[in-house]
Amino acid sequence: MPNDSDLILITGGTGKQGGAVAYELLAAGRRVRVMTRHPESANAKKLAARGAEVVKGDLDAPDSLKQALDGAWGAFAVQNTWEAGVEREEEQGLHFAGAARAAGVEHFVYASVGSAHRHTGVPHFDNKARIEQRVKELGFPSWTVIRPAFFMENFLSDQNKPAIEAGQLPFGIKPTTPLQMIAVADIGKYGRMVFEQPERFNGRGIDIAGDEITMPQAAEVLTKVTRHPVSFVQVPVSEIRKFSEDLAIMLEWFDAVGYNADIEGNAKEFGIPPTSFTDWARVHFAPNANSDLARSA
């Protein structure tokens, strides 16, 4: 187990996954440094108020990575496909892993995606598989890969939340398809665990999810929680393909194959109770719910 004084660098600390891991580690009394392109942002200031060291850094700027990694015992690496694009995300991930190894990071944790290692054919899954392989090859003293399923927080997007509030749950999969999903807060708990027990999780890849339900079932949950009718609307994949081939391929993969995290087995092995979609929705969609507070708790 690392000492409390061992520094852990979090990339994407002002985003969903990185933020969840940062808050968990800070709550455990760990020494956390958050790298962000926007150190003056509201999320960065919240992290600083909790005790994080916030530094300016950019995954596309090598010099800033050297500064951010200086003195770090551990590093949590996450990149954003939808912001960077598939090719650039892969470049960022490969470069950051190399920079962390050169900086002497002892425990490297890579946030991949569920089933990346299964050769899915989904572009933004397969690029992460290649980053995973590079992490394995670099020779870190210890490393772990966390592979989360679909984020429940995706239902809070600027497109989805207003639709749900208006009574519709639009999604591009069949009504009979069960989809594994996870609350971002649970990712934070897994992140804390693998940093606190690096020997136990050295060389492991862990697929994680909190619930598995169909979209009509999700609509039923949202109907109960919001106290107004919410109906599932199947969006044709052909319409989605018009603006994102990558997203369309992923949705087709959901219908044909899907994630395979062992939700019950993980809970037993790791002792982290999975957050159900119902419990998550109560926090974010119940009348008077404060999603912003929940995300920063």
pLDDT, tens digit (0-9, with 9 covering 90-100), for 104-154: 999 999 999 999 999 999 999 999 999 999 999 999 999 999 999 999 999
Q: Does the residue 18 lie in any domain?
A: yes
Q: For residue 210, what are its two tokens?
A: 């909190």
Identity of the residue numbered 162: P
How much is the pTM? 0.94
Q: Which band of pLDDT confidence, cut at 50, 70 and 90, is reported for residue 297?
A: very low
Q: Note whether residue 13 is domain-resident.
A: yes
CATH code (residue 75): 3.40.50.720
With tokens 């927080």, the residue in question is 153
**294, part of any domain:** no
Cα torsion at 36, 34, 107, 266 (round to 10°)? -100
Structural domain harbouring 99: 7-149+183-208+260-274
Count how many domains the chain has: 1
Residue/partner pairs of 167-170 with CB below 8 Å, 24 or more apart: 167/228, 167/229, 167/230, 167/231, 168/230, 168/231, 168/232, 168/233, 169/215, 169/218, 169/219, 169/222, 169/230, 169/231, 169/232, 169/233, 170/233, 170/235
The Cα 8–Cα 6 span in angstroms is 7
8: which strand partners? Answer: 32, 74
76 belongs to a structural domain: yes
State the burial class of residue 6 (Cβ atoms within 10 Å of its Cβ: 0-12, 13-18, 19+).
middle
Is 253 a member of any domain? no
Q: Is residue 80 part of a domain?
A: yes
CB count in 10 Å sphere of residue 102: 12
Q: Is residue 286 part of a domain?
A: no
Taking alpha carbons only, the member of 97, 99, 98 closest to residue 111 is 97
Round to whole Å and give the CA distance between 144 and 110. Answer: 6
Find the mean pLDDT for residues 40-69: 94
Please check whether residue 75 is in contact with residue 38, taking contact to mean a CB–CB distance below 8 angstroms. Answer: no
pLDDT tens across 193-251, in order?
Answer: 999 999 999 999 999 999 999 999 999 999 999 999 999 999 999 999 999 999 999 99
Q: Under a CB-based contact definition with an 8 Å cutoff, are residues 181 and 214 in contact? A: no
Average pLDDT along the chain: 95
Amino acid code (one letter) for 57: G
Residue 238 lies in a domain: no
